[in-house]
Amino acid sequence: METGLLHLHNVLRWVLLLLLLWNLVQAIAKKESIRSSSLWLMIAAHTMLLIGVYLTVAGKYGWTTLNLPAGSSVMSDSSYRFFLIEHPVLMVSSIVFITMARAKAKQLNFRSFTWLLVIALVLILAGIPWPGREVGRPLFPGA
């Protein structure tokens, strides 16, 4: 089950990024449709949160399956530190901003909506384990 959820978590990141960019384009064009598109964005973000919480608890790098080399700790091992601390903190923060943006979309406050989404986008781009990083993962599941 972990593998399937990890693959889903991998591919849903593209859905989330596309929805985020689509919401930004609509906000810049001041379209009232942000009321509905922001809902889809929030659903995608909260789905990532649910899968992420599961992976953080029971995945390969989960708190309940910790298998640290002798003498090391979560903070001294770069993979554990990334997947158990840095990645969740950045991504949960981005999801908070996306949720705040949803409230602004309902009020059609385009300016605040745009800024909250820009902050969320920066946090997500910083938190993704892009290939080439020390903790890098493939761009697509199983690639």
Closest listed residue to residue 62, CA positions, set 51, 72, 48:
51
Binders in 11-70 for ligand HEM, by CB under 6 A? 13, 16, 48-49, 52-53, 55-56, 59-61
CA distance 103 to 91: 19
Nearer to ligand HEM, 34 or 128 (CB): 128
β-pair partners for 133 = 131
Residue 110 contacts by C-beta under 8 Å, 6 or more apart in sequence? 27, 30, 34
Binders in 74-113 for ligand HEM, by CB under 6 A? 83, 87-88, 91-92, 94
Nearer to ligand HEM, 77 or 141 (CB): 141
Closest residue to ligand HEM, judged by C-beta, is: 52
Nearer to ligand HEM, 21 or 108 (CB): 21
Tell me the residue type at 44: A
CA distance 30 to 107: 12
- Per the structure block, which two tokens stand in for 27? 């906000």
Q: How many residues bind ligand HEM (CB under 6 A)?
A: 26
Binding site for ligand HEM (CB under 6 A): 6, 9-10, 13, 16, 48-49, 52-53, 55-56, 59-61, 83, 87-88, 91-92, 94, 124, 128-129, 137-138, 141
